[in-house]
A = this chain, B = another copy of it.
Amino acid sequence: MPGDDIRFGLDRRVRLAAPLTLASGQALHGVDVAYETYGTLNADASNAVLICHALTGDQHVASLHPRTGKPGWWPRLVGAGKPVDPARHFIVCSNVLGGCSGSTGPGSIGPAGDIYAMCFPVITIADMVAAQLALLDHLGVRVLAAAVGGSMGGMQVLQLAATAPDRVRSAVVIASAARHSAQNIAFHEVGRQAIMADPGWRHGNYGDTPPAAGLSVARMAAHITYLSEAGLTEKFGRRLQDREALGFGFDAEFQVESYLRHQGLSFVDRFDANSYLYITRAMDYFDLAAPHDGRLADAFKGTRTRFALVSFTSDWLYPTTESRRIVRALNAAGAEVSFVELESPHGHDAFLLDTPEMNRVVDGFLRAGA
């Protein structure tokens, strides 16, 4: 698919020539996909690896963020000498549709010349994947050597493998699930209600003055689900912040309060409230088995994609049971699949942290498929 390819900060962006037909039935015109690449596509275009980011991630997987100057979000897995290595792979990472890091989302300008805001169509994980496939077309990548993602990134990998099995040889799904559970939806709904309850949200038309308080509360609630109870106890326990004794007030007296408040406030600087609404909605809608009357195996019928799944013992957001459910379905579909549950005290966030075992698993799996 031809398109303009423009430098956007340190990363790039392509405007898709064709409209995207969304799961809702709507057509979305003039879709931009912002992306980063690392390494070089080889002669037979067989070394491309797609990295899919999580809810609040972006395309800057392995390089400095052009605005914040912070390092990429997955340096442990992607980079020189890592399982996904620009010396061997042509690495592609794009900001998801609905995001706020350059790809078209609710903060983009719509056809009427205004910011979409809540006029942006509700999107799905499948729509995100459709945008990524269009980007791969643009880059001349027909078949991916691998797609790799954690959390919502893993959902995209699963969706890609289900939608376009002929376009991905190896799929790595880390700390993820094939559907959002009632508890997953419940936590997201709390976050959305916190944003929408903020009068500064203005039904999405907040312009340059975001609903900071609501978005901050949403992030605080979500952040608790990324960590384990034991991890929080180890990291903070009941320790006080900059004080010797209880203050008998409502300041952030406990370290964990101070930490959470900081997480909430700093999130406001880097993420868009409407994008948060749309992406959480896409995740809540995710249920790969739904089009198959609940039979997840049917989503992968006849697949020749190889799968590796990784879960973490203390991840209660997407617990091991959800990975096992996917493994059972893949087994039933006759797919080649390996699965490992890794010990970690760090809860869901373990997939972003320094976990050498995870790296060994992913490295071995990718090399075996090369």
Query: A residues bordering B, Cβ < 8 Å?
Result: 23-24, 118, 121-122, 179-183, 185-187, 189-190, 192-194, 196-199, 213-214, 216-217, 220-221, 224, 227, 229, 232-233, 235-238, 246, 248-250, 252, 254, 256-257, 260-261, 264, 277, 281, 284-285, 287, 290, 316, 319
Contact = CB atoms under 8 A, between A and B. Distances in A.
A312 B78 CA distance: 43
Contact of A235 (B182, B254, B256, B264): B182
A302 B346 CA distance: 40
Contact of A197 (B181, B186, B216, B224): B216
Given A122-B249, A192-B250, A186 B316 contact: no
A337 to B, nearest CB: 24
A179 B290 CA distance: 43
Contacts of A227: 183
16 contacts: A23-B248, A118-B250, A179-B238, A181-B233, A182-B237, A185-B238, A185-B257, A186-B232, A189-B252, A189-B256, A190-B260, A192-B250, A193-B261, A197-B217, A229-B316, A250-B277
Contact of A199 (B24, B199, B236, B257): B199
Nearest to A121: B248
A345 B208 CA distance: 46
A264 B281 CA distance: 20
B238 A183 contact: no
Q: List 7 tightest A-B contacts by C-beta distance, closest first.
A: A197-B213, A182-B232, A122-B248, A24-B248, A182-B256, A182-B236, A183-B229
A182 B260 CA distance: 11
Contacts of A179: 238
Nearest to A232: B182
Given A185-B254, A281-B250, A217 B237 contact: no
Nearest to A182: B232
Given A190-B224, A260-B190, A182 B238 contact: yes
A243 to B, nearest CB: 13
A216 B189 CA distance: 12
A319 B230 CA distance: 12
A316 B314 CA distance: 13
B233 A214 contact: no
Contacts of A186: 220, 224, 232, 256-257, 260
Given A182-B236, A186-B232, A190-B260, 19 more contacts: A23-B248, A122-B248, A181-B232, A182-B229, A183-B227, A186-B224, A186-B257, A189-B254, A190-B217, A190-B221, A192-B250, A193-B261, A193-B264, A197-B217, A217-B217, A221-B221, A229-B316, A229-B319, A316-B316
A281 B252 CA distance: 11
A290 B287 CA distance: 47
Contacts of A224: 183, 186-187, 190
A274 to B, nearest CB: 10
Contact of A238 (B24, B121, B180, B190): B180
Q: Which of A213, A217, A319 is packed against the most chain B CB atoms within 10 Å?
A: A217
A194 B181 CA distance: 24
A329 to B, nearest CB: 16
Contacts of A199: 199
